[in-house]
Structure 1
Amino acid sequence: MIVILFRVLVIIALVLLVYTLIQYYRNPSRRLRLAKEANEFFFLDEPNNSKKNVQFVYKGCLFEGEKYLGTTEDAFEVVNIHVTVRDPLELRGLTRDDLYFMEKEILMRYPYASIEWKHPINQLLLTSIE
């Protein structure tokens, strides 16, 4: 009887271990961190949850966007997104074209949104092109 109980406990432990590994590899925060280390673009969002902020990584820089719900002609949609950067030192090397790319990616997911870049990103948009 004890042998059978021990086998059941071992099987339960193995199932729990496999479940934990699957959850670890599917974790969105882990995928965001890996994209940051690899200098890739990754967009982390819950489109059905307007209270959860948007996070995305581009060229090793982590951005966070606060979503604000408003009305459009047909329904309630996300109408405003305020984008900030976690660490301003990571902005080194970003150009206007990079910001336009990120705006395009955000607008693909939220077509009714207006994007407002917060300091210091908005300084790049305000400077004149030479």
Structure 2
Amino acid sequence: MWLIRLLLFALIIFLIYSTIKYVINPKRKLELAHDQKKYFFFDDQNNVRRNFLITYKGVLFEGEKYLGTTENSFDVVSIFIWPHSVSALKGLVSEDFLFIEQKVLANYPNAKIDWKSPVKEFMQKSKGKNSSFE
């Protein structure tokens, strides 16, 4: 009888633990923000080899970090960002990509951000249009 009670107690503890792990899992938060078309930045800043994920307005972006040297330390100095689905970019404007750049630079202030196609070409056209009005 005591063994059954002990196993039942262990099962309840395990279920509570599993539920808490599920609720606070950042990957789940990323998926929820993606479904709700909100901004979420998922990254392990201690692991430079691991790419980060950003969801913004229902579009999932991935960023690849590269380590290099700054004036007095090793730090992330270059980041490439690309969308997972090009078709999901419909409706985004250059201000949206600048917002993403600002959020990434808040976490990696020494980094130079480069976009991969087709965002790269779009940003170059946007900068060209802005400079022609000045």
- Do the two structures share a fold, i.e. TM-score over 0.5? yes
User: 2:120 maps to what in 1?
Assistant: 122
Instruction: Please name the residue that 2:2 is paired with.
Output: 4
Which residue pairs with 2:23 in the alignment?
A: 25
AA aligned to 1:76 is: F
| Partner residue in 2 for 1:74 | 72
SS of 1:69's partner is strand
The offset of 1:90, in angstroms, is: 0.7
Paired position in structure 2 for 1:38: 36
SS across alignment from 1:34: helix
- Taking structure 1 as the reference length, the TM-score comes to 0.95
- Residues 93-108 of structure 1 mapped to structure 2, 5 A cutoff: 93-108=91-106
Q: Secondary structure at the match of 2:114?
A: strand
Task: Spell out, residue by residue over 1:63-82, the C-alpha distance to the aligned partner (whole angstroms, 9 max, x if none).
Answer: 00000000000100000000
Q: What SS class does the counterpart of residue 115 from structure 1 fall into?
A: strand
CA distance in structure 1 between the aligned counterparts of 2:43 and 2:19, rounded to whole angstroms: 22
One-letter amino acid matched to 2:129? I
What is residue 82 of structure 2 aligned with on the other side? 84
Gaps of 5+ in 1: none
Q: CA deviation at 1:29?
A: 1.3
Mapped partners of 2:29, 2:87: distance in 1: 22
Residues 13-55 of structure 1, C-alpha deviations (whole Å, 9 max, x = no match):
0001111111111111111111011111000011111011011
Report SS of the residue matched to 1:129: helix
Cα distance between partner residues in 1 of 2:129 and 2:108: 28
Q: CA deviation at 1:129?
A: 2.4
Q: If the length of structure 2 is used for normalisation, what is the TM-score? A: 0.92
Q: How many residues align?
A: 128
